[in-house]
């Protein structure tokens, strides 16, 4: 009888040998091959406990700091869209958000005169604070939409975490939509209206959705390029928030 | 709600470069472990982790949002490490072989201990000397053997995963694993004296009598 090759024995250790049952039958019958197998096994078992050192504390931070300056900018498409000549609707949308921000700022800071007296004007920019909130709202909405677009469609889908997020977003969405309407921008109001309907659909649906339900929600997201619009406006709002304002009235100046 | 990796990728692609940090925070430690097992050197590993993320960022447009980000990143890391080992091998052929053995820094010797999950019934508590011999033997493998062996033996990845990650046929992946084990036996079996309480030692002992 032919003995097993070294390759068969090694691969058998990992369960990767061809004709595994024949290999096993041979090992049961042949002491010599069994001995060889045992040697391989004992050697390989010794290699098991090799340990990896934990990277030092702050390793993630260090990796990021070293990496950060080497990352080229992404999203040049968006930059081309906004500069030098932004498309009309997007510009109008941003204007409306800024107006909405100013409007909300008025509601959230009922005594602006007192505040200015207490703090240097460069630090008091309620419009900016609300702008951060609007940007955050669109960003979170975008993430939720992307997540839904990428959810696994096999079998029943647990939607409870998406629903909780949609419910929260729906509340603030309402506020921003009302203010953009009052600010007189039908386009951004329409965007938030559209977003609101999709959020409502997600928030009020069953916790476990079928692939068909999911497809319906996706269709609603895809219709009229909702995700793209949310992305574009959200990104522009965020880039304005990040840009340092020369003075506390920077937003107003642009309006 | 925990934001998914895919959502973060979309955010980065929309122009938010800083969002990439979330992915670094989430995955750099596991990539460190993967790469360290293949290089055995902390400094090289840290650099390769950075290179992995840099490459991932640059090719982020090619990431399928439906795919698993950590699997995708893992593949980049393994291939990046394979390239690195290959380049190092050609540039410093002789020195490279013993680099790992020559480098038992303080942190490494502190790591000579049982695995975190505790030893299984078959696990052996190895001496520091034996650990160094194993590290030295691993250093003698070709880059492809080392990578394939690490994936199969230490990470328990299937032959299919290995062949997909390294773009090899299954037979070639199996062959790399086998050749790695063959070389390790040549290096390590002479040390497996009667003192080792393994079945293998007993078998070879009885065969000699
Ligand atoms: Zn036999």
Model pLDDT for residues A78-89, shown as the tens digit of each residue = 443 443 333 444
Q: Answer yes or no: do B19 and B90 share one domain.
A: yes
Q: Answer yes or no: do B76 and B123 share one domain.
A: no
Q: Is residue A157 over pLDDT 80?
A: no
Q: Is residue A246 over pLDDT 60?
A: no
Domain boundary among B115, B146, B176: B115
Q: Answer yes or no: do B96 and B172 share one domain.
A: no
Residues 6+ apart with CB under 8 A from A244: none
Distance of residue A222 Cα from the nearest chain B Cα, in angstroms: 16
Residues in chain A within 8 Å Cβ distance of B198: 38, 41-42, 45-46
Per-residue pLDDT at A146: 79
Among candidate residues A144, A104, A155, the one with its CA nearest the CA of residue A128:
A104
Q: Is residue A205 over pLDDT 70?
A: yes
**pTM, 2 dp:** 0.53
Per-residue pLDDT at B126: 64
Domain boundary among B115, B143, B160: B115
Q: Angle of helix B159-166 relative to helix B69-91, nearest 10 degrees?
A: 70
pLDDT, tens only, A192-203: 888 888 888 888
Which of the four pLDDT bands, split at 50, 70 and 90, describes residue A103?
low
Q: Answer yes or no: do B102 and B159 share one domain.
A: no
Domain range annotation of chain A? 6-46, 88-104+123-255
Q: Answer yes or no: do B20 and B100 share one domain.
A: yes
Q: Answer yes or no: do B108 and B96 share one domain.
A: yes
| Domain containing residue B192: CATH number | 1.10.10.10
Q: Answer yes or no: do B90 and B148 share one domain.
A: no
Q: Answer yes or no: do B14 and B95 share one domain.
A: yes
Among candidate residues B56, B36, B54, B37, the one with its CA nearest the CA of residue B46:
B36
Q: Which two tokens stand for residue B88?
A: 């190092």
Residues in chain A within 8 Å Cβ distance of B196: 42, 46
Contact (CB<8Å) A40/B185: yes
Q: Answer yes or no: do B70 and B166 share one domain.
A: no
Phi, psi of B195 (to 5 degrees): -65, -30
pLDDT, tens only, A24-68: 999 999 999 999 999 999 999 888 655 788 888 899 999 999 999
Which of the four pLDDT bands, split at 50, 70 and 90, describes residue A243?
low
Q: Is residue A130 over pLDDT 90?
A: no
Size of interface A-B (CB pairs under 8 A): 194
Distance of residue B73 Cα from the nearest chain A Cα, in angstroms: 15
Per-residue pLDDT at B206: 34
Q: Which two tokens stand for residue B104?
A: 């038992």
Q: Answer yes or no: do B111 and B125 share one domain.
A: no
Distance of residue B150 Cα from the nearest chain A Cα, in angstroms: 10
Give the chain A residue whose CA is nearest to the CA of B113: A51
Domain boundary among B115, B149, B184: B115
Q: Answer yes or no: do B68 and B3 share one domain.
A: yes
Range of the domain at B77: 1-115
Going from the Cα of B186 to the center of ligand 1, the distance in angstroms, rounded, reads 21
Residues in chain B within 8 Å Cβ distance of A16: 152, 159, 174, 177
Residues B123/A48, Cβ–Cβ less than 8 Å: yes
Residues in chain A within 8 Å Cβ distance of B8: 143
Q: In terms of pLDDT, which residue wins out, A49 or B181? A: B181
Q: Is B64 exposed, middle or buried (0-12, 13-18, 19+ CB in 10 A)?
A: exposed
Per-residue pLDDT at A232: 73
Half-sphere exposure (Cβ direction) of A243: Cα atoms closer than 13 Å? 12
pLDDT, tens only, A104-123: 555 543 343 444 344 444 44
Half-sphere exposure (Cβ direction) of A117: Cα atoms closer than 13 Å? 4
Per-residue pLDDT at A112: 39
Residues A25/B167, Cβ–Cβ less than 8 Å: no
- How far apart, in Å, are the Cα atoms of A183 and each of A103, A187, B7? 8, 11, 31
Number of domains chain B contains: 2
Q: Answer yes or no: do B133 and B196 share one domain.
A: yes
The full DSSP string for B30-86 is HHHHHHHHHH--HHHHHHHHHHHHHHHHHTGGGS-TTS-HHHHHHHHHHHHHHHHHH
Which of the four pLDDT bands, split at 50, 70 and 90, describes residue A143?
confident
Per-residue pLDDT at A214: 82
pLDDT, tens only, A159-186: 777 888 888 888 778 777 777 676 666 6
Least confident residue range of A6-15, A19-28, B113-122: B113-122
Which of the four pLDDT bands, split at 50, 70 and 90, describes residue A254?
very low
């Amino acid at each position: 009888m032919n003995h097993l090759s070294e390759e068969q024995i090694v691969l058998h250790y990992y369960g990767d040998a061809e004709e595994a049952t024949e290999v096993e039958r041979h090992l049961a019958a042949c002491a010599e091959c069994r001995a060889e197998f045992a040697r391989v096994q004992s050697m390989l078992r010794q290699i098991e406990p090799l340990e990896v050192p934990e990277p030092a504390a702050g390793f993630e931070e260090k990796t990021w700091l070293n990496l950060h300056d080497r990352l080229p900018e992404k999203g040049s498409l968006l930059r081309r869209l906004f500069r030098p000549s932004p498309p009309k609707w997007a510009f109008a949308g941003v204007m409306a958000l800024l107006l909405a921000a100013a409007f909300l700022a008025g509601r959230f800071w009922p005594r602006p005169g007192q505040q200015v007296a207490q703090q240097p004007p460069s630090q008091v920019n309620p419009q900016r604070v609300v702008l951060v909130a609007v940007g955050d709202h669109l960003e979170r909405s975008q993430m939720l939409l992307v997540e839904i677009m990428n959810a696994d469609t096999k079998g029943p889908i647990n939607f409870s975490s998406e629903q909780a997020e949609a419910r929260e977003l729906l509340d603030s969405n309402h506020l921003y939509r009302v203010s953009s309407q009052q600010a007189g921008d039908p386009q951004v109001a329409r965007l938030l209206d559209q977003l609101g309907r999709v959020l409502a659909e997600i928030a009020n649906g069953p916790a476990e959705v079928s692939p068909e339900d999911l497809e319906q929600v996706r269709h609603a997201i895809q219709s009229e390029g909702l995700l793209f619009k949310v992305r574009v406006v959200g990104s522009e709002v965020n880039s304005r928030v990040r840009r340092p304002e020369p003075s506390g009235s920077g937003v107003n100046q642009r309006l | 709600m925990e934001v998914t990796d895919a959502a973060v990728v979309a955010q980065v692609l929309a122009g938010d470069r800083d969002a990439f940090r979330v992915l670094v925070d989430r995955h750099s430690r596991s990539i460190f472990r993967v790469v360290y097992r293949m290089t055995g050197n902390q400094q090289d590993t840290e650099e390769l982790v950075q290179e992995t993320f840099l490459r991932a960022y640059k090719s982020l447009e090619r990431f399928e949002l439906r795919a698993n980000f950590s699997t995708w990143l893992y593949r980049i890391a393994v291939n990046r490490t394979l390239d690195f080992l290959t380049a190092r091998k050609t540039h410093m052929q002789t020195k490279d072989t013993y680099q790992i053995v020559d480098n038992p820094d303080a942190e490494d010797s502190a790591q000579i201990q049982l695995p975190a999950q505790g030893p299984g019934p078959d696990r052996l508590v190895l001496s520091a000397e034996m650990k160094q011999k194993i590290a030295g033997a691993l250093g003698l493998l070709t880059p492809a053997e080392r990578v394939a062996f690490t994936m199969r033996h230490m990470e328990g990845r299937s032959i299919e995963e290995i062949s997909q990650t390294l773009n090899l046929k299954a037979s070639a992946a199996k062959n790399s694993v086998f050749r790695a084990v063959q070389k390790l036996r040549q290096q390590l079996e002479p040390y497996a004296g009667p003192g080792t309480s393994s079945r293998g030692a007993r078998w070879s002992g009885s065969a000699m009598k």
